[in-house]
C-alpha cells in the first residue's frame, strides 16, 4: 500500500455546526439578547450588509437586494445604490455576475449589458451561492488558523467552482493514535551540548549525521533519518537541530485547482531549496486496519494512507479525516517536496514522524507536490502495483501533467 491522496479524494473537511450567524438571526428574530454571541440591547436592531443577492433598475434608479448580517433572509430589503457604502461587496457582486456569464458562454470574454433592468434568476442564484461560499471559506480559514500551532498562516481560496469547505475533516497538529495504539512522546535521554552544531549531539548518539547545515537546510540524502534534539536536551529553542519541531514557517494557501484535482496547496512566499516545509500527520492505525481501509479507498479512487515502514511495517498514517495542510497536497510524478523520517521525542523506529522538505527553490504562487509513491527511505513504493493474478486493484489515473508522469497514482 502506497502513500496518500489529495487529488483523488472525495469531499472531506470541517464539521458543520450551528453557525454564529444562525444563532444571531434567531436572537434577532425573537428579539432576544445574548452577550455570549454578541447580541446586546445596543446592537439588537443594528443593520450591516453581509452580501448582495440581486439587482434591478426602477425608474432609472439602481437597487440591490441586501442580506443583512445576523438577520434572517425574510428581512432582506431592496436598497438604492446611493445608500450602499460597501464598495468591496459591490465589486464582488459585479465580478461574480461577470464570471457566471463567462462560464455560460464557455469562457469567452464578454461585456455584460448594463441596460438590463433585472437579473435572470439563475444569475442571482449563482451570486448568492458564491457569497455564501465566500463566507464559509473565510470561516474555515479562521478555524484552521485557530487550530494550527505553527508560525505560517493558512489561507483558503476557490475561484474555480462552488465547492465549499470539506464536511468531514478535522485539523490536527500531531499524530492521533487509533484506539489501542500508544504513542510514547517523551524521550528517555537528551544531549547536554552548548552548541549542537559542533558537539556530539543526538544524531551522533543515534549513529547518523546532523541533518542540517548552518542555513537550516537539510544536507543528508533521502533515506537517512533525522534525529532532532528533544525535550530532555539542555539546548534551547534556537538550537540548529530543532527544525521540524518548530512547525511550518511559511504562509500557505489551500486552493481549488482548475484541472480537476480538487484542492491543492501553494506557497505564498519563496521557499529555498532543501528547506523544511511541513509535516504529514494523521491518524496512526495498524497495517491490518490500513489494508482494510485501503480497499475501501481504492474503490472510491481516493487514499490518504502513508506506511510508516522505516524499519518495520506495523503502522500506517491515515490522513483522510484527521490531518493538517498536507492533507490537501497533490501528487506529482515530478514533485518539489521530498519525504524524510524524523525522530524527536518518540524514538520508536516503528513510528517516525514524516517531514516534507523542498527539493529545489519553490517560488511564491507555485503549487506544492510530492510523489505519493515515494517512501521515507527515498525509493519508490512497489506495493502500489499488485502483481498477484488473484487480486485486481482499482487504479487511479494521475493528473499531475508532468513530462515524467507514470500515468497512475497507484
Residues 391-408: pLDDT tens digits?
A: 345 677 888 888 888 888
- 260 to each of 7, 12, 133, 263, 343, how far by Cα in Å? 8, 16, 19, 9, 36
**Residues with catalytic function:** 280, 372
Query: Residue 38 above 70 pLDDT?
Result: no
Q: Does residue 324 surpass a pLDDT of 50?
A: yes
Q: Residue 233 annotated as binding?
A: yes
For residue 8, the tally of other CB atoms under 10 A from its CB is 24
Distance in angstroms (rounded) separating the CA atoms of residues 399 and 329 = 13
Nearest to 277 by CA among 155, 152, 380: 152
Q: How far apart are the first and last CA of the chain?
A: 9
Specify the pTM. Answer: 0.84
Q: What is the pLDDT of residue 16?
A: 43
Give the cell for residue 375. Answer: 517512501
Is residue 16 part of an annotated ligand binding site?
A: no
Would the CA dihedral through 216, 222, 224, 225 be positive or negative?
positive
Instruction: Please give the grid coordinates belonging to residue 2.
Output: 502506497
The cell numbers describing 263, all together, are 484542492
Residues 263-314 have pLDDT tens digits of 999 999 999 999 999 999 999 999 999 999 988 887 777 778 999 989 888 9
- In the block, cell 448594463 appears at 114
Annotated ligand binding at 78? The verdict is: no
**With bands split at pLDDT 50, 70 and 90, how would you rate the model's confidence at 375?**
low
Mean pLDDT along residues 2-19: 45
Element (H, E) at 226: strand 226-227
Any known ligand binding at 27? no
- Characterize 325-345 residue by residue with b for buried, 16 or more Cβ atoms within 10 angstroms of its Cβ, and e for exposed: bbbbbbbbbebbbbbbbbbbb
Q: What is the pLDDT of residue 373?
A: 81
CA distance 176 to 21: 32
Residue ranges of domains in the chain, CATH in brackets: 44-103+117-143 (2.40.50.40), 151-370 (2.170.270.10)
Q: Express each pLDDT in 168-214 by its tens digit.
A: 999 999 999 999 998 877 788 899 999 999 998 999 999 999 999 99
What are 339's three cell numbers? Answer: 519525504
Class of residue 391 by CB neighbours under 10 A (exposed 0-12, middle 13-18, buried 19+): exposed
Task: Please indicate if the annotation marks 400 as binding a ligand.
Answer: yes
Cα–Cα distance measured from residue 152 to residue 250, given in angstroms and rounded to the nearest whole number = 4
Mean pLDDT computed over 32-47: 65
Q: Torsions phi, psi of 26, nearest 5?
A: -65, -40
CA–centroid distance for 281 within its chain: 12
Task: Compute the half-sphere exposure of residue 178: CA atoms within 13 Å on the CB side of its CA.
Answer: 15
105 is known to lie in a ligand binding site = no
- Provide the mean pLDDT of the chain: 86
Parallel/antiparallel/unpaired status of strands 337-343 and 353-358? antiparallel
Amino acid at each position: 500500500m502506497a502513500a496518500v491522496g489529495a487529488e483523488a479524494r472525495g469531499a472531506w473537511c470541517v464539521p458543520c455546526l450551528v453557525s454564529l450567524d444562525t444563532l444571531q438571526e434567531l436572537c434577532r428574530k425573537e428579539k432576544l439578547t445574548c452577550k455570549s454571541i454578541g447580541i446586546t440591547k445596543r446592537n439588537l436592531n443594528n443593520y450591516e450588509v453581509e452580501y448582495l443577492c440581486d439587482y434591478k433598475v426602477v425608474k432609472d434608479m439602481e437597487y440591490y437586494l441586501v442580506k443583512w448580517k445576523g438577520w434572517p433572509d425574510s428581512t432582506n430589503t431592496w436598497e438604492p445604490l446611493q445608500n450602499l457604502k460597501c464598495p468591496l461587496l459591490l465589486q464582488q457582486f459585479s465580478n461574480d455576475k461577470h464570471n457566471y456569464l463567462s462560464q455560460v458562454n464557455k469562457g469567452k470574454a464578454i461585456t455584460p449589458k448594463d441596460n438590463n433592468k433585472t437579473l435572470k434568476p439563475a444569475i442571482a442564484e449563482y451570486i448568492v451561492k458564491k457569497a455564501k461560499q465566500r463566507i464559509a471559506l473565510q470561516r474555515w480559514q479562521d478555524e484552521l488558523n485557530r487550530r494550527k500551532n505553527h508560525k505560517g498562516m493558512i489561507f483558503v481560496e476557490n475561484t474555480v467552482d462552488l465547492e465549499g469547505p470539506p464536511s468531514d475533516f478535522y485539523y490536527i497538529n500531531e499524530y492521533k493514535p487509533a484506539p489501542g495504539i500508544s504513542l510514547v512522546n517523551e524521550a528517555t535521554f537528551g544531549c547536554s551540548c552548548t552548541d549542537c552544531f559542533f558537539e556530539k549531539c543526538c544524531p551522533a548518539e543515534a549513529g547518523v549525521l546532523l541533518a542540517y547545515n548552518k542555513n537550516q537546510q537539510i544536507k543528508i540524502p533521502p533515506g537517512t533519518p533525522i534525529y532532532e534534539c528533544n525535550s530532555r536536551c539542555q539546548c534551547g529553542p534556537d538550537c540548529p537541530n530543532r527544525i521540524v519541531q518548530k512547525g511550518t514557517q511559511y504562509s500557505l494557501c489551500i486552493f481549488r485547482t482548475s484541472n480537476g484535482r480538487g484542492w491543492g496547496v501553494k506557497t505564498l512566499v519563496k521557499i529555498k531549496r532543501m528547506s523544511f516545509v511541513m509535516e504529514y500527520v494523521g491518524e496512526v492505525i495498524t497495517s491490518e486496519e490500513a489494508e482494510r481501509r485501503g480497499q475501501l479507498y481504492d474503490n472510491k479512487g481516493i487514499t490518504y494512507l502513508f506506511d510508516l515502514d522505516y524499519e518495520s511495517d506495523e503502522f500506517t498514517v491515515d490522513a483522510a479525516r484527521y490531518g493538517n495542510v498536507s492533507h490537501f497536497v497533490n501528487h506529482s510524478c515530478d514533485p518539489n517536496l521530498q519525504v524524510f523520517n524524523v525522530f524527536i521525542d518518540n524514538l520508536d523506529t516503528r513510528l517516525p514522524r514524516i517531514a516534507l522538505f523542498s527539493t529545489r527553490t519553490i517560488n511564491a504562487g507555485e503549487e506544492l507536490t510530492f510523489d505519493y509513491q515515494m517512501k521515507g527511505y527515498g525509493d519508490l513504493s512497489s506495493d502500489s502495483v499488485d502483481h498477484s493474478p488473484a487480486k485486481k486493484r482499482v487504479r487511479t489515473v494521475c493528473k499531475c501533467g508532468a513530462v515524467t508522469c507514470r500515468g497512475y497514482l497507484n
